[in-house]
Structure 1
Amino acid sequence: MPLRQRTLRRSVSLSGEGLFTGQPVQLVMHPANAGHGIVFQRLDCPSAAPLRATLHSVKATPRCTILGHDQIQVQTVEHLLSALRAFHIDNALITLTGPEVPIADGSALSFIEMIKKTGIEELTEEKLSKILRAPVFFSQEDTHIIALPAQEFRISYTLHYPHSPLIRSQFYTIAVDEESYEKEIAPCRTFCLYEEIAPLLEKGLIKGGGLESAVIISEDRVLNPEGLRFPDEMVRHKILDLIGDLSLMENPLLAHIIAIRSGHATNVAFARLLQNQINREPS
């Protein structure tokens, strides 16, 4: 299915702090030529080579997705990549003054606002969306992900938190396009159980988080004064994350992805399995 590649019309910036590092950072998204891909450049490490947003670049997945090579890493890329994929942005140079993408409010809204503020430029060169021809299955302990052939990009996700009276089990399904993503997925924030916070702080894993950048849940209530944006905001955010992790594949994909209790590590493992399957299929 040939489509035209896309980039941004102009450069656009966002300043904030990283969720895990707590470090202030300025992020700027710049237009890029066809075939450039999504590439990160650390301005605070001027001698380091650029970092391409691909599965090969995934360095670790400790509650977020980290891209890296021998010289640098960029942490918590999934919300930004999710927004770029939903709006079909194929080419951009993303410069940062620190090691982590700003968390903003914990959702993808800030990145959608950046894209809409600068506008989208359609390039003359074509890209190719892949259509899955055969089912792909992935299981790891209590996590299961299936990709089924489809004529659209749809995600169905089941979230299961039996130890949380507020969350319990949630299910959401959505055919992902720009309009549905902006309205139903982009506003959904990352979340954390209150009892998880102390151990994460002790390990130094969260230095920039708070009620302004995440939904925090204690037993059967939400600690954020404004409450939830959707009753099922948590499962929708899991879909946001999954879109970002799947964007690391070589081409946009038309398929129905059905996920049960997946996180960043299993998302990436599944994306690699799926990429291998697609590479074996005839063009």
Structure 2
Amino acid sequence: MADRILKQTTIREEVSLEGVGLHTGKEVKLTFKPAPENTGYVFRRTDLDDKPEVEADVSYVVNTRRGTNLEKNGVTIQTSEHVLAACVGLEIDNLYIELDASEPPIMDGSSKFFVEALEKAGTVEQEADREEYIVNEIICYRDEESGSEIIAMPAEEYQVTTMVDFGTKVLGTQNASLEHLSDFKREIADSRTFSFLHEIETLLEHGLIKGGDLNNAIVYVDKEIGEETLKKLRVAFNREDISVKPNGILDNLTLHYPNEAARHKLLDVLGDLALVGTRIRGKIIATKPGHHVNTEFAKKMAKVIKAEKRNNMPKIDLNQPPLMDVNDIMNTLPHRSPFLLVDKIYELTDSHVIGVKNVTMNEPFFVGHFPGKPVMPGVLQVEAMAQTGGILALKSVPDPENYLTYFMKIDNVRFKQQVVPGDTLIFKLELLAPIRRGICQMQAYAYVNGKLATEAILMAQIVKSK
């Protein structure tokens, strides 16, 4: 059974919440706003001139100390992971995340309040199909120094398992798993951030966690705690009294789950892998995860996805009858020999098309390009892709025989492989946005011998013929 193609989503209306940043201690207002299709997650700094934007993209990660921090053109976003985890966990595709400071509010140290805000805003389905990267082969990243490792393997849906080992008596080995994203709200979202006492002392000495208190961070006491340390903590957390419970947790904070630390690490993995920029279908197994290894893995996965997208030739059976043969194509396109450069169409949906051109020595351009060394001109490869894309564009009108498509723009053209007599060119074109006012923008690929030969972004206009 074929998978149902899911549509992208955004929120129905904007929604805001306020709090303080964990490390800056500054009051901050965060507003989620609806975003158009194919936007992804975009942070917007409303406190700065021109409201600069920072996309949730792993290429903008600048450091991972105490959170995943992004920077673009000098504009920073700190501790992005809890907000992004909520977006992924609720399966929302496109959002503007406006902030009037560099750091989202820490709230209770989890994703709970972001989830509640997004649910209050409601979701709406958009026209464009949801892009999903399907893991077909194992992808692995290992940090030899820490022993941390993250693996992605094939699975029927997005799943995450975290395995943590802190090597301390108060917090030893823990595991957590999320089998279905639909369980995120119930099982993971309210898992709070945590720290060890020795880390808290270091952060306080460096003027960090100014917005911290005992309600937004679980503090595990992993060392003897003296009166001088208690005094500092009372001042830092503005509490008259602080104690250590028998379970080794500072003060009287009650765990939501015995393995809340492992669940929060899972939350962090979801948030950090949102920076890959596309939905994932596969199982993630993270051993001793942290923001550094999470984002390094995200970088590796993003490179794999980009490479596969460029080189992943469509899997079609050329021996099967096509969806459209050359006669059907001529009933749609006005082109004729010797300028009809697509022979068959094998797939045609509202958003993509796959076509084929069999290149023979009888092509008229081989007479002069080049004698003794016949090579198909790159400009004709682009034209062949454009004709294939014309079939996709004309599918949007009820009477395609009464319309023409005209080139408007060609961008990012790259030629990777020579095309010679005897080759079979396979074209795949995908809409980059829904067709509006007759304007059609497509990502086009041409493959030969299992390799990417040509790629380009094409823009055309559908015009009624006289």
Q: Give the letter aligned to residue 255 of structure 2.
A: L
**Aligned with residue 162 of structure 2, among 151, 154, 157:** 157
Specify the alignment match of 1:74 in structure 2.
Answer: 77
Specify the alignment match of 1:116 in structure 2.
Answer: 119
The secondary structure found in structure 1 opposite 2:124 is strand
Identical residues among aligned pairs (%): 36
Specify the alignment match of 1:204 in structure 2.
Answer: 207
Specify the alignment match of 1:193 in structure 2.
Answer: 196
**Aligned with residue 275 of structure 1, among 302, 306, 309:** 302
Specify the alignment match of 1:264 in structure 2.
Answer: 291
Over alpha carbons, which structure has the higher Rg?
Answer: 2
The secondary structure found in structure 2 opposite 1:209 is coil
**Contact 2:15 / 2:31 at 8 angstroms: preserved in 1?**
yes
1:29-48 correspondence to structure 2 within 5 Å:
29-47=32-50
Specify the alignment match of 1:175 in structure 2.
Answer: 179
In the alignment, the residues of structure 2 paired with residue 215 and residue 92 of structure 1 have an alpha-carbon distance, to the nearest angstrom, of 30
Shift of 1:278: 2.4
Q: Give the letter aligned to residue 218 of structure 1.
A: V
In the alignment, the residues of structure 2 paired with residue 125 and residue 241 of structure 1 have an alpha-carbon distance, to the nearest angstrom, of 28
Shift of 1:48: 5.1
Specify the alignment match of 1:6 in structure 2.
Answer: 9
**Contact 1:59 / 1:69 at 8 angstroms: preserved in 2?**
no
Shift of 1:224: 4.3
C-alpha offsets along residues 146-172 of structure 1, whole Å, 9 cap, x if unaligned? Answer: 111111111111111112x12110012
The secondary structure found in structure 1 opposite 2:215 is coil
Shift of 1:113: 0.3
In the alignment, the residues of structure 2 paired with residue 155 and residue 166 of structure 1 have an alpha-carbon distance, to the nearest angstrom, of 25
**Contact 1:7 / 1:90 at 8 angstroms: preserved in 2?**
yes
**Contact 2:67 / 2:81 at 8 angstroms: preserved in 1?**
yes
**Contact 1:3 / 1:129 at 8 angstroms: preserved in 2?**
no
Give the alignment's TM-score, normalised by structure 2.
0.59
**Contact 1:48 / 1:71 at 8 angstroms: preserved in 2?**
no
In the alignment, the residues of structure 2 paired with residue 280 and residue 177 of structure 1 have an alpha-carbon distance, to the nearest angstrom, of 27
In the alignment, the residues of structure 2 paired with residue 100 and residue 18 of structure 1 have an alpha-carbon distance, to the nearest angstrom, of 5
In the alignment, the residues of structure 2 paired with residue 147 and residue 89 of structure 1 have an alpha-carbon distance, to the nearest angstrom, of 22
The secondary structure found in structure 1 opposite 2:113 is helix
Is 1:96 the counterpart of 2:99 in the alignment? Answer: yes
In the alignment, the residues of structure 1 paired with residue 251 and residue 45 of structure 2 have an alpha-carbon distance, to the nearest angstrom, of 33
Shift of 1:175: 1.2
The secondary structure found in structure 1 opposite 2:6 is strand
Specify the alignment match of 2:273 in structure 1.
Answer: 246
Give the alignment's TM-score, normalised by structure 1.
0.95
**Runs of 5+ consecutive residues of structure 1 not aligned to the other structure:** none
1:228-243 correspondence to structure 2 within 5 Å:
228-243=255-270
The secondary structure found in structure 2 opposite 1:221 is coil
Q: Give the letter aligned to residue 177 of structure 1.
A: L
In the alignment, the residues of structure 1 paired with residue 38 and residue 131 of structure 2 have an alpha-carbon distance, to the nearest angstrom, of 12
Segment of structure 1 superposing worse, 236-245 or 169-178: 169-178
Q: Where in structure 1 do 4 or more consecutive aligned residues deviate above 4 Å?
A: none
C-alpha offsets along residues 28-75 of structure 1, whole Å, 9 cap, x if unaligned? Answer: 111111122211111111235311111122222112011111231011
**Aligned with residue 142 of structure 2, among 139, 143, 157:** 139
**Runs of 5+ consecutive residues of structure 2 not aligned to the other structure:** 223-246, 315-466
Which fold has the larger relative contact order, with Cα–Cα distance below 8 Å and residues 6 or more apart in sequence? 1
Aligned pair in 2 of structure 1 residues 224, 114: CA closer, same or farther (>3 Å)? Answer: farther
